[in-house]
Chain A
Amino acid sequence: MEILLAIMTGVLYAGGIYFILRRSLVKLIIGIVLLGNGVNLLIFLMGGLVKGKPPIIPEESHHLEGLYADPVPQALILTAIVISFGLQSFAIVLIKRAYKVVKTDDIDAMNKTDDIE
């Protein structure tokens, strides 16, 4: 499974990068979303995969012992998911606004400030 997920991460990165290299702003955002998912998966993999053992201390115990999923990458990813949502929603609205003003979606047409009257 690790190998399969490693390949999936690679595919996510590839897809994300391909979209980031496009000229359309919408594709750029989708690319960032894909890449973000890839990064999350990568961090998750780095912690090591443990099946069905969430890092929750059992009722009767005060410590977590034995085999359990690593909580540290999970905490990191949780933060990452939330922050990337902030980024995405702002970016989506920004694109909408930018399109309204400059009437284009092409990044290449947006790299000069002087064109806007």
Chain B
Amino acid sequence: MSTLLFAILSSFLFAILLFGIGQKVFARISWFASILPISLFTYFLSFLGPTSSGETFSYLTKWVPSAGVNLDFRMDSLSTLFTLLITGVGSLVFLYTMKYLKGHKYLLRFYIYLSIFMGAMLGLVTSNNLISLFIFWELTSISSFFLINFKNTERASRKSAITALSITGFGGLALLAFAVLAGGLAGTYSISEMLNSSEALNNSSFTPILLILLFFAAFTKSAQFPFHFWLPGAMKAPTPVSTYLHSATMVKAGIYLLLRFSPHFGDNEIFSTVLITVGSITMLFAGFHTLFRTDMKGILAYSTIGALGIIIFLIGIGTNTSITAAIVFIIVHALYKATLFLLTGTVDHQTGTRDITQLGGLKKHLPILFVAGLLAAVSSAGIPPSVGFLGKDLIYESTLHGNQSILLTTIAVITNVFMVFAGFIVGVKPFVGKVTEKTIEVNKPHWLMWFTPLLLAITGIVFGIFPGIIEGLFTNSISQQLSGSEGMHLKLWHGFTLILLLSFITISLGLLIYFLWKPSSKKVRFMEGFNIASPKHILLKFAEYFEQFSYFLTRVFQNGYLRRYVMILLVLLTVVFGVHVFINPRVFLSLKEIRGLEVSEIIVCVVMFVSILYTVLTRSRLSAIAGMGVLGYSICFIFMFYGAPDLAMTQFLIDTLTVILFVLVLYRLPKYLRLSNNTNRIRDGIIATTFGTFLAFTIIEIMNETPIKKTTEFYAKNAYEMAKGKNIVNVILVDFRGFDTMIEIIVLSIAALGVFALLKLYLKKHEK
């Protein structure tokens, strides 16, 4: 099945190909881009037959075998459903964009991003390896970032893009942690093999953490409360992007992940409780918010969040019926929501506004689009014979037959009422009623811009009339795969049951709200008053304070003052030394072996001490340099006493040279000023003295240890035999470590060149 690998990676290759074509040529052949999704759609259609009868296909190639990371792709019924959604909606969006962004400067760039996104999304839903799934997951976040940021000259776009990236990016990190943890517990990163170790996954002490990580990943990606707010922000993207990423595909990645892992965790109490709770809150919250939006895309964004909540809620219930309901609802939602989004795009494109209060009477100009909108609204509302009716039916079916049936059913009904409202307000409202200023003259859109939404809307009705298609191709096999038994039998007409009554109530209430409730900017503003308590506000405020905090931290540590950098390091080191000295006071234990002092040694040490003090305390530059010289000479004596004649000689020469050099340039040097105040001097003095004291203690302590003399013995033995030299220090320098010495000479030469340049080259005029 290496064609599978090629199919999944072809989008990335295609993106490179597009890049090679160049903007000018591409502007003329923009239809070319649509070849990719259409051919992929046809390709993935070929899996439909076999996977629906339970077959799976896999392709495995080792990527990083040592880490258990493989390009392991697996096509089963669930993956087929998602690949078809991705490539199917993708095809229409690619075609639609061609006209929607016709003549746009960065059309090519847009298609490149879209192709990369499509590849990442296909990889995500077909990966059987958790780590590669994570990589594709992150790729979708990143391509989403670029697509939201497409109008990157607008501040709001940039801000939304960053918000979306940070939220989904955090989720991605959680997914990685989940992958590593689950991989560790199960001993494999392969998702299908993990099924065999679901014991280990469910009964470990890590299970709660594992689930939290999984939830965090899924909820951020699928915009669940309280992480939902990046999705309305993401509506800053061009409408095709909103259609494709932020409604039909990318936001379903979290749902895909939960579905994929529902066999692993389905029986877990935490899994179902959390999903039901979060799903319910999101559904109600988002549904309610659709009432307070006037931007068509804003309404759609919130109704999308609500729909995602419903699906999560259904996965949480976890019965056979509810999984079937979830699958059907994924299809339902993709079909009607994409229709509504594309319709919004066309309306916006032709009239220049998406404000629902400024639109009306468009059906005269855009009759076919109105048909599409009406069909989508019908599906959204769950009015028969649309596929939406099937979906809503199944939702009630799942909530009624389970625990807490009254509570859950009430929640579902309320949410669906809002869905009816949202579908009609976007799909119907702009086309009916009075003609407004903006809709007096409207040009006819290109046929692709009404055909694509219409096609989706009609598909929704066809699936509704023939529910056997969905059942035969998807729900049966997916349900088999996820819960081990066949899904619910889907049919449009169940007879006069409680569910039908609930449906009737939902639709009438929804329509009632649609006719009575008029969205207005006043209501939007009213709702904005509550923003202070919203998760968005809280999180953004947190981000703001965090930024200020890191700014403060940077100012403290990266302050640009050399002294402070040194001081921070020193204080830290002093603390380390200090702790050591106080914890291990064995310093004074074994000093009996110290030999007696000779007079000459004492004299040298006294001279050293005095010269250091003099250098530090004097107020004259010349005296300080003289003190430094004396100090150098006394060190010279120490080297001489203790068997290092070479060192003594070098020290003597270099010390003399340094002093001469200092004195030579001394009078060109700045005056010796006292720049710091007394407080600073005392503070620095204390730091320096403490450090020196602790260091001295540590040295004494170290000297109690017997040094390892292996290297020394090697040189002592071989200096003459291997290098024919008797002065071992010299032999080390010019023979054993000859290369080091050569490099040292090079360093010195460079320094000499630098000195020469600084002394001899003239200043340029502007430097004087």
Are A54's CB and B755's CB within 8 A? no
Q: For B263, what are the chain A residues with a Cβ–Cβ distance below 8 Å?
A: none
Cross-chain pairs A/B with CB under 8 angstroms, 24 sampled? A1-B594, A3-B700, A4-B605, A8-B608, A10-B692, A12-B612, A15-B688, A17-B688, A20-B566, A23-B563, A26-B621, A47-B707, A48-B703, A53-B643, A64-B719, A64-B728, A69-B643, A70-B712, A71-B729, A77-B644, A78-B646, A78-B647, A79-B733, A93-B758
Q: B675 interface residue, CB < 8 Å from A?
A: yes
Are A62's CB and B763's CB within 8 A? no
Are B665's CB and A93's CB within 8 A? yes
Are B594's CB and A86's CB within 8 A? no
Bound-state Cα–Cα, A33 to B635, Å: 13
Q: Give min CB distance, B738 to chain A, whole Å.
A: 12
Are B748's CB and A71's CB within 8 A? no
Q: For A100, what are the chain B residues with a Cβ–Cβ distance below 8 Å?
A: 668, 763
- Cβ < 8 Å to B, chain A residues 40-62: 40-42, 44-58, 62
Across the interface, name the chain A residue whose C-beta is closest to B671: A105
Q: A70-B712, A86-B751, A95-B669 are in contact. Are A23 and B675 (CB under 8 A)?
A: yes
Are B699's CB and A42's CB within 8 A? yes
Are B670's CB and A99's CB within 8 A? yes
Are B646's CB and A74's CB within 8 A? yes
Q: B446 interface residue, CB < 8 Å from A?
A: no
Q: B400 interface residue, CB < 8 Å from A?
A: no
Q: A74-B644, A96-B665 are in contact. Are A106 and B699 (CB under 8 A)?
A: no
Q: For A99, what are the chain B residues with a Cβ–Cβ distance below 8 Å?
A: 668-670
Bound-state Cα–Cα, A81 to B748, Å: 12
Q: B650 interface residue, CB < 8 Å from A?
A: yes
Bound-state Cα–Cα, A79 to B726, Å: 19
Bound-state Cα–Cα, A3 to B675, Å: 35
Task: Identify the stretch in B17-25, B66-74, B499-507, B739-747 within 8 Å (CB) of chain A at 4 or more residues.
Answer: B739-747
Are B688's CB and A18's CB within 8 A? yes
Q: For A52, what are the chain B residues with a Cβ–Cβ distance below 8 Å?
A: 641-643
Q: Give min CB distance, A58 to chain B, whole Å.
A: 8
Q: B585 interface residue, CB < 8 Å from A?
A: no
Bound-state Cα–Cα, A83 to B741, Å: 10
Bound-state Cα–Cα, A82 to B655, Å: 10
Are B685's CB and A8's CB within 8 A? no
Are A83's CB and B635's CB within 8 A? no
Q: For B711, what are the chain A residues with a Cβ–Cβ distance below 8 Å?
A: 72
Q: B651 interface residue, CB < 8 Å from A?
A: yes
Q: Mark B479-502, 1 if CB is under 8 A from A, else 0.
A: 000000000000000000000000
B interface majority secondary structure: helix
Are B763's CB and A10's CB within 8 A? no
Q: B547 interface residue, CB < 8 Å from A?
A: no
Q: A1-B595, A71-B715 are in contact. Are A92 and B661 (CB under 8 A)?
A: yes
Bound-state Cα–Cα, A9 to B721, Å: 37
Q: For A55, what are the chain B residues with a Cβ–Cβ distance below 8 Å?
A: 643, 715-716, 727-729
Q: A41-B638, A81-B647 are in contact. Are A107 and B563 (CB under 8 A)?
A: yes
Q: B689 interface residue, CB < 8 Å from A?
A: yes
Q: B676 interface residue, CB < 8 Å from A?
A: yes
Interface residues of A (CB under 8 A from B): 1-28, 30, 33-34, 37, 40-42, 44-58, 62-65, 68-72, 74-75, 77-79, 81-90, 92-97, 99-101, 104-108, 111, 116-117
* Cβ-defined partner of B696 (8 Å) among A7, A82, A105, A106: A7
Q: A20-B566, A89-B755 are in contact. Are A104 and B670 (CB under 8 A)?
A: yes
Q: Mark B646-667, 1 if CB is under 8 A from A, else 0.
A: 1100110010011001100100
Bound-state Cα–Cα, A34 to B727, Å: 29
Instruction: Pick from A65, A92, A106 the residue with the most CB of B within 10 Å.
Output: A92
Across the interface, name the chain A residue whose C-beta is closest to B566: A20
Bound-state Cα–Cα, A104 to B689, Å: 29
Are A1's CB and B612's CB within 8 A? no
Q: B673 interface residue, CB < 8 Å from A?
A: yes
Q: A63-B717, A106-B675 are in contact. Are A1 and B644 (CB under 8 A)?
A: no
Task: Identify the stretch in B44-52, B173-181, B367-375, B624-632 within 8 Å (CB) of chain A at 4 or more residues.
Answer: B624-632
Are A64's CB and B609's CB within 8 A? no
Bound-state Cα–Cα, A44 to B615, Å: 23
Q: For B707, what are the chain A residues with a Cβ–Cβ distance below 8 Å?
A: 46-48, 70
Q: Give min CB distance, A63 to chain B, whole Å.
A: 6
Are A75's CB and B732's CB within 8 A? yes
Q: For B720, what are the chain A residues with a Cβ–Cβ distance below 8 Å?
A: 57, 62-63
Bound-state Cα–Cα, A13 to B643, Å: 24
Are B658's CB and A89's CB within 8 A? yes
Are A105's CB and B562's CB within 8 A? no
Q: A12-B612, A57-B726, A96-B758 are in contact. List 5 more A-B contacts (CB 8 A).
A: A16-B688, A30-B615, A34-B615, A65-B716, A85-B748
Are A21's CB and B687's CB within 8 A? yes
Are B638's CB and A71's CB within 8 A? no
Q: For A87, what are the chain B residues with a Cβ–Cβ distance below 8 Å?
A: 751
Q: For B699, what are the chain A residues with a Cβ–Cβ distance below 8 Å?
A: 6, 9-10, 42, 45
Q: Give min CB distance, A41 to chain B, whole Å.
A: 7
Are B644's CB and A54's CB within 8 A? yes
Bound-state Cα–Cα, A83 to B699, Å: 24
* Cβ-defined partner of B728 (8 Å) among A33, A71, A106: A71
Q: B709 interface residue, CB < 8 Å from A?
A: yes
Bound-state Cα–Cα, A77 to B657, Å: 17
Bound-state Cα–Cα, A93 to B668, Å: 10
Are A45's CB and B719's CB within 8 A? no
Q: A69-B643, A100-B763 are in contact. Are A1 and B601 (CB under 8 A)?
A: yes
Across the interface, name the chain A residue whose C-beta is closest to B751: A86
Q: B154 interface residue, CB < 8 Å from A?
A: no
Are A94's CB and B687's CB within 8 A? no
Are B644's CB and A44's CB within 8 A? yes
